[in-house]
Amino acid sequence: MAATCCNLTHASPFLNHQLFYFQRYHLVSKRSKCNTSMEKVLHRRFQVQRRDHHYIHVRYAGGAELSSSSSSSIEKNVGEEIQEDISMETLIWRAIKLPIYSVALVPLTVGSAAAYLQTGIFSAKCYFVLLASSILVITWLNLSNDVYDFDTGVDKNKKESVVNLVGSRTGIFIVAYLCLALGFVGLTWAAVEAGNIRSVLFLTCAIFCGYIYQCPPFRLSYQGLGEPLCFAAFGPFATAAFYLVQGSASSVTNHFPLSGTVLSASVLVGFTTSLILFCSHFHQVDGDEEVGKLSPLVRLGTERGAEVVKAAVLSLYALLVAFGLSKALPLTCIDKDKIFMAKYFCVRLHALFGAALAFGLVLARMVNSKLLLQ
């Protein structure tokens, strides 16, 4: 009798969930007869909870002990059932990953601002051609990543995977590489139009980093090397390339030099971009471990990984101050928690930090121009 009472005490969370969903279901039914979709969701959740409660009750009635493995198995089943309630609109939004496209916007904007600091001229035509082309390349990166993760089984339970949503691995693969081809043509055209072929080499290196990050036979992301590749691709390679294109498009000289300012800015851009990738691993550690993907979070664990994020953010601002005080960046550039959402918080940091950095470079040019006029 005592054992049964003890076991039922362990089962109390399930009883509480059952009561909660029962009350919510009937409350919604009373308030609105039109809200059928909500009723169906709550009803299905109630049925799941009732099923698991029945299973626990039968086991405990016989004096069976609830092991940690069986408990986690039940919770996993409940979680999978509830995940089915995610709306198609939410899944499509997650699949599109619109906030992630800031990684196309920030290197271009910072690179263009650094070129403006040097020349005082900005080419809007060049900027928007580069932006459209960069978005196409990032689309290739996202789609091909879903394709190759589908092949390895990482995304087998990921409902927001584009391959799982569309149901055609081949179709997504073709669209991905069409985007890459169109994007690369646009980037090359802008570089040739500006008369700076060196930037094509930088952009090619950036795209190559993206390829060996996820594509066979390399798949270096499975060895935990995604963050260094991400840093190089979006930092020194992409930011410097956009700086060269914008600077050459607005410069009267044939040879537009790299500067310490743009190299310092590119380090900061690469830093924040890598932080987005690092945080994207937090909610998929189990899936990565299952297929042998040695992401940094698999190696470190989520607790130590969270400490790394804190240290990284502090280091980011320390670098910014150091670059400002050493005059590698203008002083105007120095301006002063949930697992699944961590990468989105880092996207905001990346976008806002990049915008502030670009604004500081533009402001420095404006201040310098006024001083020269005086």
Distance, CA of 253 to CA of 247 (rounded, Å): 10
User: Which of the two residues, 332 and 217, has the higher pLDDT score?
Assistant: 217
Tokens representing 58 are: 């039968």
pLDDT greater than 70 at residue 364: yes
Smallest Cα–Cα separation from 211: which of 245, 238, 183, 177? 177
Question: What are the backbone angles phi and psi of residue 116, rounded to the nearest 5°?
Answer: -65, -35
Smallest Cα–Cα separation from 334: which of 361, 310, 365? 361
Query: Quick one: pLDDT band at residue 124, thresholds 50, 70, 90?
Result: very high
Cβ neighbourhood burial of 365 (10 Å; 0-12, 13-18, 19+) = buried
Angle between helices 198-214 and 124-152 in degrees, nearest 10:
20
183 conformational bin, left if phi > 0, alpha if psi -120 to 50, beta if neither = alpha
Smallest Cα–Cα separation from 207: which of 181, 233, 187? 233
pTM of structure = 0.71
DSSP string, 333-374: G-----TTTHHHHHHHHHHHHHHHHHHHHHHHHHHHHHHHH-
Cβ neighbourhood burial of 327 (10 Å; 0-12, 13-18, 19+) = exposed
Give 27-62 pLDDT, tens digit per residue.
Answer: 444 444 444 444 444 444 445 455 444 444 444 444
pLDDT greater than 90 at residue 102: no
pLDDT greater than 70 at residue 2: no
Angle between helices 342-373 and 302-325 in degrees, nearest 10:
0
Query: Quick one: pLDDT band at residue 359, thresholds 50, 70, 90?
Result: confident
- Name residue 154's amino acid: V
- How confident is the model over 184-197, as a mean pLDDT? 93
Query: Quick one: pLDDT band at residue 20, thresholds 50, 70, 90?
Result: very low
Asked whether the CA dihedral 131, 134, 138, 139 is positive or negative, the reply is positive
Radius of gyration of the chain from its Cα atoms, rounded to whole angstroms: 26
Cβ neighbourhood burial of 278 (10 Å; 0-12, 13-18, 19+) = buried
Query: Quick one: pLDDT band at residue 307, thresholds 50, 70, 90?
Result: very high
Give 56-88 pLDDT, tens digit per residue.
Answer: 444 444 444 444 444 444 444 444 444 456 788
What's the mean per-residue pLDDT of the chain? 77
Query: Quick one: pLDDT band at residue 369, thresholds 50, 70, 90?
Result: confident
Distance, CA of 154 to CA of 176 (rounded, Å): 19
Q: What confidence score (pLDDT) does residue 374 get? A: 62
